[in-house]
Chains A and B, each alone.
Chain A
Amino acid sequence: MASASASAPGLLGRPTGTRGISSWITTVDHKRLGILYLVTSFIFLLAGSIEAGLIRAQLALPEQQLVSPDFFNQLFTMHGLTMVFLAIMPMGIGLANYFVPLGIGARDLAFPRLNSFGYWIYALSGIMIYTSIFLGGAPDVGWVAYAPLTSLSANPGNGVDFYMIGLAINGIGTLVTAMNLIVTIVNFRAPGMTYMRMPLFAWMMFITSFLIIFAFPPLTIALVQIVFDRSFNFVFYVTQAGGMPILWQHLFWIFGHPEVYIIILPAFGVISEIIPTFSRKPLFGYPIMVLSGIFIGFMGFAVWSHHMFTTGLGPVANAVFSITSFIIGIPTGIKVFNWIATLWGGHIRFTVSLMYAIAFLVTFVLGGITGIMVAVAPFDQQVHDTYFVVAHFHYVMGGGALLTFLGAAHYWIPKMSGRMLSERLGKWAFWFLVPGFHIIFFPQHLMGLVGMPRRIQTYEANIGLDFFNLASSIGAGVMGIGLVLFLITLVQGLLRGKPAGDDPWDGRTLEWATTSPPPAYGFHVVPKILDRDPLWVLKHPEMLEGGHYQGDLAAEAADDEEFESFHMPGASWMPFMTALSIVMGGYGVLYQNWFLALLALALLIFFVFAWAFEGLGGEHYTVRKATGEIVSVEGGH
Chain B
Amino acid sequence: MFTFWLSVVVLVLVGAALIYALVRFRSRPSDKGIPKQVHGSVLIEAIWTTLPVIIIIMIAIPTVRAIFETESRFEPTEDDIVVNVMGHQWWWSFEYPDLGIVTANELRFPVDRRLVLNVDSADVLHSFWVPRLGGKIDLIPGQDNRLWLNSNEVGEFYGHCAELCLGAHAYMRFRVFADTPEDFDAWAEAFQQAQVPELAAQAPAAPAQSELVQQGEALFAQKGCIACHNVSGYLTEGVRTGTPNYPDLTNFGLRETVAAAVMANTPENLAAWLSDPQAIKPGNYMPTLWAADDPNREEEIAAVAAYLLSLGVTDPESGEDLAMGGAN
Contact = CB atoms under 8 A, between A and B. Distances in A.
A326 B170 contact: no
A208 interface: no
Interface stretch (B63-71, B185-193, B245-253, B304-312): B63-71
Contact of A282 (B39, B160, B161): B39
A349 B27 contact: yes
Contacts of B167: 69-70
Nearest to B163: A385
A583 to B, nearest CB: 28
Contacts of A68: 282
Contact of A315 (B40, B67, B145, B282): B67
B66 A378 contact: yes
B71 A318 contact: yes
The residue in A73, A345, A346, A350 that gathers the most chain B C-beta atoms within 10 A of its C-beta is A346
A326 B60 contact: yes
A346 B73 CA distance: 56
A286 B40 CA distance: 7
Contact of B14 (A70, A340, A349, A372): A340
Interface stretch (B95-103, B131-139, B227-235): B131-139
Contacts of A458: 170
Interface stretch (B49-57, B213-221, B267-275, B291-299): B49-57
A491 interface: no
Contacts of B18: 340, 343, 358, 361-362
A376 interface: yes
Given A381-B136, A453-B160, A310 B127 contact: yes
A385 to B, nearest CB: 4
Contact of B38 (A140, A282, A450): A282
Interface string B245-283: 000000000000000000000000000000000000011
B123 interface: yes
B15 A365 contact: yes
B142 A242 contact: yes
Given A285-B40, A344-B25, A310 B68 contact: no
Given A311-B140, A330-B53, A350-B26, A377 B60 contact: no
A239 interface: yes
Contact of B25 (A148, A318, A323, A347): A347
A376 B67 CA distance: 9
A362 B15 contact: yes
B72 interface: yes
A457 B25 contact: no
A451 B64 contact: no
A629 to B, nearest CB: 32
A385 B162 contact: yes
Contact of B166 (A155, A285, A341): A155
Contacts of B225: none
Contacts, number: 239
Contact of B140 (A282, A312, A369, A463): A312
B17 to A, nearest CB: 5
A140 B166 contact: yes
B146 interface: yes
Interface in A249-296: 279-282, 284-288
Interface stretch (B28-36, B75-83, B198-206, B320-328): B28-36
A565 interface: no
A379 B53 CA distance: 21
Contacts of A136: none
Interface in A137-162: 140-142, 146, 148-149, 154-155
A53 interface: no
Contacts of A341: 38, 44
B286 interface: no
Contacts of B37: 281-282, 543, 546
Contacts of B173: 460
B39 A315 contact: no
Nearest to B173: A460
Interface stretch (A331-339, A511-519, A553-561, A590-598): A331-339
Interface string A311-334: 110110011001100110110011
A482 B283 CA distance: 36
Given A333-B48, A338-B45, A348-B25, A149 B165 contact: yes
A296 B163 CA distance: 29
Contacts of A218: none
B64 A322 contact: yes
Contact of B282 (A69, A288, A326, A453): A69
A372 B5 CA distance: 12
A142 B53 contact: no
Given A281-B38, A284-B38, A378-B67, A69 B160 contact: no
A345 B71 contact: no
Contacts of B162: 310, 384-386, 453-454
B140 A347 contact: no
Contacts of B144: 312
Nearest to A244: B142
A373 interface: yes
Contact of B48 (A155, A337, A345, A455): A337
A233 interface: no
Nearest to A146: B125
B168 interface: yes
Nearest to B119: A312
Contacts of B28: 347
Contact of B60 (A239, A322, A379, A456): A322
B64 A378 contact: no
B138 A311 contact: yes
A530 B26 CA distance: 29
A149 B53 contact: no
A288 B40 contact: yes
Contacts of B70: 315, 378
Contacts of A338: 40, 45
Contacts of A282: 37-39
A365 B21 CA distance: 16
Interface in A433-465: 450-451, 453-460, 463
Contact of A540 (B25, B34, B60, B124): B34
A163 B165 CA distance: 17
B27 to A, nearest CB: 4
B38 A345 contact: yes
B160 A312 contact: no
Contact of A284 (B7, B14, B40, B136): B40
A61 to B, nearest CB: 14
A382 B131 contact: yes
Contacts of B92: none
Nearest to B123: A154
Interface of A: 65, 68-70, 73, 140-142, 146, 148-149, 154-155, 239, 242, 244-246, 279-282, 284-288, 310-312, 314-315, 318-319, 322-323, 326-327, 329-330, 333-334, 336-338, 340-341, 343-350, 358, 361-362, 365-366, 369, 372-373, 376-382, 384-386, 450-451, 453-460, 463, 540, 543, 546
Give the 10 A-B residue pairs with the shortest CB-CB distance, closest first.
A381-B135, A451-B131, A312-B145, A456-B170, A285-B40, A239-B141, A315-B71, A347-B27, A385-B162, A455-B164
8 contacts: A242-B142, A282-B39, A311-B138, A315-B70, A323-B60, A350-B26, A378-B70, A381-B135
Given A69-B168, A284-B40, 9 more contacts: A68-B282, A154-B166, A282-B39, A310-B135, A330-B56, A348-B26, A382-B134, A451-B160, A543-B37
